[in-house]
Amino acid sequence: MAGRESALYDETLLPLDGPEPGRRYAQVIVDVPAKQTNRPFDYIVPPELEAWVGVGSRVGVPFGPRTLQGFVVGLSESTGMDPRKLKPIEQVLDLVPPLNPELVDLARWMSRTYVCHEITALQAMIPGALKAKYEKYVAVAEEADGHSAPPPEGQALLLAGSPEEDEITAFVRQKGTVPMDAMLRRFPAAGPLLKRMLERGVLVEVQTVKDRLNAKKVLYVEPAADPRTLTEESGKLAAGAKRQKELLLHFAAHPSPVPLAELTDKLNVGAGTVKALADKGWLTIREREVFRDPYAGRSFARTEPLPLTEQQRGAFAAISDALGAERHDVFLLHGVTGSGKTEVYLQSIQQCLDQGREAIVLVPEISLTPQMVERFKSRFGDAVAVMHSRLSQGERYDEWRKIGLKRVSVVIGARSAVFAPFTKLGLIIIDEEHESSYKQEESPKYHAREVAVQRAARHGAVVVLGSATPSLESFARTSGRGAPYRLLTMADRVEGRPLPAVRIVDLREELKAGNRSMFSRGLYKAIEERLHKKEQTVLLLNRRGYSTFVMCRSCGYVVQCPHCDISLTYHQVSRTMRCHYCGLTQPEPKTCPSCDSEHIRFFGTGTQRVEEELGKLFPGIRVIRMDVDTTSEKGAHERLLTKFRNKQGDVLLGTQMVAKGLDFPDVTLVGVIAADTVLHLPDFRAAEKTFQLLTQVAGRAGRHRLPGEVFIQTYTPDHYSIEHASRHDYGAFIATELDSRRQRGYPPYCELVLVTFSHEQVAMVVRAAESFATRLKEKWQRMRTEFDSVSGAGAEDRYFEVYGPVASPIPRIKDRYRFQCMVKYRGDVDVSGMLTETAAAFDETVRQEKLHISIDVNPQVLM
Ligand code: ADP
Ligand code: ZN
Ligand code: ZN
């Protein structure tokens, strides 16, 4: 078979723990995300592989007619199966198992918690480069079985087909195995014939598992002999061999291995010259495995720890104490923008490393700028691996490999870096913990914060959740009896720098005064002033593409659902307004139901329009626009920010991207074009998101010596999220918002699960959704009866309700109709278990009718 064993066993690497008993059978989860395969299968560990197979190994195993990738999730001395029926593991895919027992166990937890297949959870933990790639080969039948002897003469005659067929057989026999596509290239016209030969069993198809990507290899040159002899040897060279002489003298002085490319480049010699010396036996050219390092050649000036401010000291002391005691604690570090959270992170990491443990730092993808990376690299140097989606697949893979090989002890990355396969984890930091990007929107629909807490608990590690605007869920966990999180507060900016002054501008007043531009008079003047003083401005325009709300520009009235306390969504195609919680539909209003004005209209302004208007109002203004259109290219985001930093732009205009973590000394003005765009999203978190966004963006101004000023333009100046944001008053906001959540019955007062159904036929999806809801309700009825009969502690706190089904806010995607149910629950109820069982009843329909059911536990997006 086309195995890759030879490449696998490198004698320089030691086997796991040496052969030992208890490794005879392996329990393997295979790469087939289906209910029937969502359990471990037993395989024999062949003696020659025993030393290489560990819990967390990736292996190739026979499964039915195929070879599949799988993960070893257990090893045992005995098996519950008939050992004679078990098949052996065929391949071990990595020298070092990519996962470890803790992560394997975590995958089991994820599968239960997020109602997904275990393989889906396991796959989420490894970089894309390691996802299985199956390669198909053809081989001559009898040879594929391992009997390479040619058939006896007579039989060969009997089997012989056409001359074309013989030619193919001979070719394959000579090569051993041939990739399918190579076969078709070699014999382009023989497609049907090949198929027949496969059907008749003359040829067989074999499949192997390969990585999508391999370690990068580079040619290195080094002296073959003692470098001290090279000077002497160089004297023996012919006078004309000047280049060869130089090269030998170079190695005499610098004997360490150099990449061939670097050598030819620096010393200006041809590869031929190097080869000639290698042929003479003086130099060696060897292939070496290297890491693709996205930061290669960049040096980071070392920074020393700063003396902490008093507030930083307080926060650090608590974290340090837990670290020192190796106690699992979760801290919520609530620090205003510019309070110096990063320095607290850095010093906590330092302590963790000093204790010989490892740290993970999670940062929202969008904030993972070179500036951010530099802050960590300049403190911890090469001990830091960086993982984000803007790296190439190869770079990501290599950064990740450094973890398994123990080359690094700090990982900084976006959401999936939470799975960094460290074994001595001491600290996990989640910066901007309120960010919704920590939730993965495709299966497994995990939240990095929840996973982090799980992992930390298994390691006795500390979790630090940092934010200027903590999520309500996290904040609620810091108070009350048995609160699982501890609150640390840093209320002031470093060095007593003031938070910027915030002005709320009532856009209704602007309209009344005859100003129809998107810039209020105040903001206009402020921009003009900045242009004059050569200071910089950040403008935020937040707009979602597909749906929006209808608002009256005269009075600020927003069309709401009379039953749900949520703004109705405008659907352009049908020109209707819909509530996506209860399904209410009504026609688009022609005049404002509140003030009769005709200025009621579909609301929304694109960044491009703002850019145009800026150009008209301020001729010559240099605008750097940052939105999905201008940042889709690799590196574009960073290029634009660098341009702004170098003051090649007066205004940075963009969507949420401009609100996060940026730190520019000359930004003294921040303008929010319309604060309402988020506020009226049909989402119970709309007020929270508005408050967070406004606070974050306001935090971009006046972070250094120049004081900052912020303008928030809005049609609803009295809304509490806007008012409190303008006063930087998180405490007041959270009190109001918690109250509102309690009244409406939303998190943190209950938990949510969103179940979405989709199908090409609307009747089918409605039927399935209704039947699902009914089954789930019945299940609860039965459970509640049981609960009542035991009436243990917490019984009165239990609550469970299924809402819907209703049409999803985006009722059709790619010709599939979508309906959803919302489950609200509280207390000790095994909702994941109930959902798993209920979903199992739909397996047939899912398979045969292509019904799709998505279960989102603790959803962040309700669309
Ligand atoms: P946050 O993440 O809380 O918004 P930062 O960590 O970006 O704040 O810190 C804001 C600024 O204060 C940065 O320029 C940082 O270098 C500086 N800073 C942080 N801690 C100290 C300190 N102890 N002494 C002096 N400057 C500090
Ligand atoms: Zn009105
Ligand atoms: Zn409604």
Q: Which atom of ligand 1 is nearest to the CA of 490?
A: 3
* Together in a domain, 530 and 483: no
pLDDT at 290: 66
Residues 6+ apart with CB under 8 A from 857: 113, 114, 115, 445, 753, 831, 832
Same domain, yes or no, for 267 and 171? no
What separation in angstroms does the CA of 237 have from each of 51, 241, 249, 277?
A: 50, 6, 12, 10
Best mutation site among 309, 312, 339, 342 for ligand 1 pocket (most ligand atoms within 8 Å of CB): 342
Separation of 507 CA from ligand 1 center, angstroms? Answer: 35
Position 94 in a domain: no
Q: Is 338 in the pocket of ligand 1 (CB under 6 A)?
A: yes
Residue 49 counted as domain residue: no
For the sheet with 576-578, list strands across it.
569-571, 576-578, 585-587
- DSSP collapsed to 3 states, 223-287: ECCCHHHHHHHHHHCCCCCHHHHHHHHHHHHCCCCEEHHHHHHHCCCCHHHHHHHHHCCCEEEEE
DSSP 423: S
Does ligand 1 lie within 6 Å of residue 309's CB atom? Answer: yes
Contact by Cβ (8 Å): 774, 842: no
Task: Verify that 518 and 666 share a domain, yes or no.
Answer: yes
Pick from 239, 258, 290: which residue ends a domain?
290
Ligand whose nearest atom lies closest to the CA of 551: 2
**341 touches ligand 1 (CB under 6 Å):** yes
The answer to whether the CB of 308 is under 6 A from ligand 1 is yes
CA distances from 651 to 618, 633, 660, 672 (A): 11, 21, 16, 13
- Indicate whether 428 belongs to any domain: yes
DSSP reduced 3-state for 651: strand
- Ligand 1: does its nearest atom lie under 6 Å from the Cβ of 661? no
The tally of domains found in the chain comes to: 6
> Does the annotation flag 116 for ligand binding?
no
* Peptide bond just before 748 cis, omega within 30 deg: yes
The ligand minimizing its distance to the Cα of 560 is 3
Beta-sheet strands, E only, within 50-131: 58-63, 66-76, 91-92
* Helix residue ranges per DSSP H, 703-860: 720-726, 730-744, 762-790, 831-840, 843-849
203 shares its domain with 344: no
Residue 490's identity, in one-letter code, is M
Kindly state the tokens that stand for 738. Answer: 């918690």
- CB of 113 sitting under 6 A from ligand 1: no
- Interval between CA 793 and ligand 2 midpoint (Å): 52
**617 with 713, same domain?**
yes
CATH number assigned to the domain comprising residue 490: 3.40.50.300
Query: Is 36 domain-assigned?
Result: no
- Cis peptide bond upstream of 682, omega within 30: no
Structure tokens at 747: 């998190």
Gap between the Cα atoms of 860 and 472, Å rounded? 13
Question: Helix, strand or coil for residue 176?
Answer: coil
Whether 340 is in the pocket of ligand 1, judged by its Cβ within 6 Å, is: yes
**Domain termination residue (choose one: 691, 713, 744):** 744
Structure confidence at residue 422 (pLDDT):
95
> 567 CA distance to ligand 3 centroid (A)?
9
Residue whose entry in the numeric block shows the structure tokens 């002054």: 501
Check pocket membership of 375 for ligand 1, CB cut-off 6 A: no
Q: Let me know whether 526 and 563 are in one domain.
A: no
By most ligand atoms within 8 Å of CB, the mutation choice from 313, 378, 433, 494 for ligand 1 is 494
Weakly modelled stretches of the chain, pLDDT under 70: 1-23, 132-134, 142-161, 207-216, 289-299, 543-549, 564-566, 571-573, 580-582, 601-606, 628-629, 661, 790-796, 863
Residues 482 and 373 in one domain: yes
Residue 582 is labelled as binding a ligand: yes
Which pLDDT belongs to residue 863?
Answer: 63
For the four alpha carbons of 744, 745, 748 and 753, in that order, the dihedral sign comes to negative
How do strand 462-467 and strand 425-431 relate by DSSP bridges? parallel
Domain boundaries, position 281: 216-290
Beta-carbon contacts of residue 396 (< 8 Å; ≥ 6 apart): 127, 128, 129, 387, 389
The pTM of the full predicted model, rounded to 2 decimals, is 0.78
Query: Which phi and psi (to 5°) does residue 332 adopt?
Result: -105, 110
Q: What is the pLDDT of residue 92?
A: 85
Q: State how far Cα 366 lies from the chain centre.
A: 11
Q: Does a structural domain hold residue 107?
A: no
pLDDT digit string (tens) for 187-229?
Answer: 877 777 887 887 787 887 776 666 655 666 777 788 887 777 7
What atom in ligand 1 is closest to the CA of residue 663?
7
Judge if 535 and 559 occupy the same domain.
no
d(CA 832, CA 111): 9
Q: Are 92 and 57 in contact (CB under 8 A)?
A: yes
Q: Do 405 and 489 reside in the same domain of the chain?
A: yes
Specify the pLDDT at position 18: 43
Atom of ligand 1 nearest to the CA of 335: 3
Domain shared by 359 and 491, yes or no: yes
Out of 192, 210, 228, pick the residue that ends a domain.
210
Tens-digit pLDDT profile for residues 312-350: 999 999 999 999 999 999 999 999 988 999 999 999 999
352 assigned to a ligand binding site: no
User: Considering the domain boundaries, does residue 37 fall inside one?
Assistant: no
Contact by Cβ (8 Å): 17, 104: no
**Closest listed residue to residue 196, CA positions, set 145, 161, 144:** 161
Q: Is the CB of 335 under 6 A from ligand 1?
A: yes
Same domain, 158 and 225: no
Residue 297 lies in a domain: no
Q: Is residue 549 part of a domain?
A: yes
> What CATH number is attached to the domain comprising 824?
3.30.70.600
| Burial class of 547 by CB neighbour count within 10 A (0 to 12, 13 to 18, 19+) | middle
User: How far is 76 from 419, CA to CA, in rounded Å?
Assistant: 26
pLDDT at 15: 43
391 and 508 share one domain = no
